[in-house]
Each structure stands twice: as C-alpha cells, then as structure tokens.
C-alpha cells in the first residue's frame, strides 16, 4: 500500500490540500512547455499566492527544491501526482443525462487528468440506450453491477437535488467512496468511507455578485 514518505506526520493542512491540485495543474502545464525548473516566486505569481506560501505547502511533503536553483518541474510533478493519486487512472461513472450531464459526458478535461468515464446512467427509460459522445446511457438497474465490474470509486452526480440523497446512499452501499455533486443541496453521509465535493454554479455566481457589490469599499 502506498504510504506517504515516512517523515511526514499525517496531518496535511486542509488549506494546503485545496491548493495541491492547483500546483499540479500549473506544473503539468510547465512540463508540457518543456520547462525544467520553476521557482516558488514564479509558481506563486501564476496562482495568486506568495512565494513563502508555495514553499511552505511543498515543504509539508518533503524537500523537493534545490537552494539557489528552484524546483525540478519533473520531480515536483511526479511527487504531487503521487500524493494526489494521479499516478494511476480512475474509473468514473456519471449519473444524470440532462443538460449538464450531457455536457459533462463530452468534457475532455476529466480524462486529461486521469479520470475515465466508464458508464453513464439516467433514470428515464426513454433515454436508456441513447448514445452521447460515443457512450450509451445505461439503466440505473445496472448501477451496482457496473460499479463492481470496474471497481468504480468515484461518481459524478448531475441529477435533480431531490434524487441526490437517495442515490448517494445507494452508491455508498455499492462501494463508491467519492461523489462530485452538481445539485444545489448539501449531502449527509453517515459512514466515513464516503467523501462529497459540491460544485454549485449558481452559488459561485452569487459569491461573485457579492464581491462586485462590496468591491468599492474594501481593497
């Protein structure tokens, strides 16, 4: 089993975790551009962080840099990939083939980051069998079978809020460990084996509107 490097006490700050994927995205971009080293100052500028913060975050997992030089892009990429579990590919299922689900089924960003869409589902019988972006909609009856067959740990939920809780309970029983929820509802999970991440687009627009309203008086 992949244990993190021995020195690391197993308490990664939540704030650091939230930024880890951000670092990885930028580093992968740099690697594609052929850059071999990067400085904390440069990374920070690109992501809206201070250089000290970048160094602190990275130092939590080990000493990846070289004083006077910077960080090896390749090495950092590998290290963060390991830490985040991007060193392997993840089979993912998508449930809900409405407007949003259809768009998500064709979104290439997922597989670029190591996530393979192995099946798409919808509860509407008339949609079952319809192809979207080269994949046929399956009946929800087949949910458990598909999860077992592909050892699916992650599910994307693009269903109405009213169906979310029920589906999450079912997914949890089936062995799924993480759900990316697009409905504007908070999910309750009893067991610790299930993580949920919410993406609420209207909520983000509201936060934006608040920033705009309060723009003048602050900074």
Query: Distance of CA 137 to CAs 35, 112, 119, 134, 181, Å?
Result: 42, 22, 7, 10, 19
3-state helix, strand, coil in the chain (%, to 5): 45, 20, 35
Q: Smallest gap, in angstroms, from Cβ of residue 18 to DNA?
A: 8
CB of residue 195 to DNA, shortest distance in Å: 16
Q: Which two tokens stand for residue 62?
A: 């080990």
Binding site for DNA (CB under 7 A): 13-16, 38-41, 49-53, 55-56, 58-59, 63-71
CA angle 68, 71, 76 (to 5 degrees): 160
The 3-class secondary structure across 108-160, one letter per residue, is CHHHHCCEEEEEEEECCHHHCCCEECCEEEEEHHHHHHHHHHHCCCEEEECCC
Q: Which of 73, 83, 94, 127 binds a copy of itself (CB under 8 A)?
A: 83
Give the CB-side neighbour count of residue 166, counting CA atoms within 13 A. 8
The 117-156 contact track toward a copy of itself, x by CB under 8 A, reads: ------------------------------------xx-x
100 forms part of the interface with a copy of itself (CB under 8 A): yes
Q: Which does 55 bind (CB under 5 to 8 A by kind): a copy of itself, DNA, none?
A: DNA
Q: How far is CA 161 from the centre of its chain?
A: 20
Q: Which does 15 bind (CB under 5 to 8 A by kind): DNA, a copy of itself, none?
A: DNA
Residues from 62 through 81 that contact a copy of itself (CB under 8 A):
none
Binds a copy of itself by CB under 8 A, chosen from 53, 113, 123, 163: 113
| Closer to DNA by Cβ: residue 103 or 208 | 208
How far is it, in rounded angstroms, from Cα 108 to Cα 130? 20
Q: Which residues bind a copy of itself (CB under 8 A)?
A: 10, 12, 17-18, 20-22, 24-26, 46-48, 83-86, 90, 92, 99-100, 102-104, 106-107, 109-110, 112-115, 153-154, 156, 177-180, 184, 186, 192-193, 195, 197, 199-215, 217-219
């Amino acid at each position: 089993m992949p244990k993190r490097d021995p020195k690391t006490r197993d308490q990664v700050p939540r704030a650091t975790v939230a930024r880890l994927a951000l670092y990885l995205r930028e580093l992968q971009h740099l690697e594609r551009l052929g850059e071999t080293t990067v400085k904390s100052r440069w990374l920070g500028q690109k992501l809206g962080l201070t250089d000290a913060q970048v160094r602190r975050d990275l130092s939590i997992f080990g000493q990846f840099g070289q004083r006077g030089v910077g960080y090896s892009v390749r090495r950092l990429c590998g290290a963060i990939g390991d830490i985040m579990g991007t060193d392997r590919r993840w089979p993912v299922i998508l449930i809900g083939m409405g407007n949003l689900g259809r768009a998500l089924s064709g979104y290439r960003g997922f597989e670029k980051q190591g996530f393979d869409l192995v099946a798409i589902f919808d509860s509407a019988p008339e949609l079952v069998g319809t192809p979207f972006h080269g994949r046929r909609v399956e009946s929800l009856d087949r949910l458990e079978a598909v999860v077992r067959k592909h050892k699916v740990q992650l599910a994307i939920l693009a269903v109405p809020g009213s169906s979310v809780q029920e589906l999450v309970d079912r997914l949890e029983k089936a062995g799924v460990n993480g759900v990316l929820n697009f409905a504007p509802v908070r999910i309750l999970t009893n067991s610790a084996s299930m993580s949920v991440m919410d993406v609420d687009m209207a909520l983000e627009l509201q936060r934006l509107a608040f920033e705009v309203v309060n723009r003048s008086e602050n900074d």
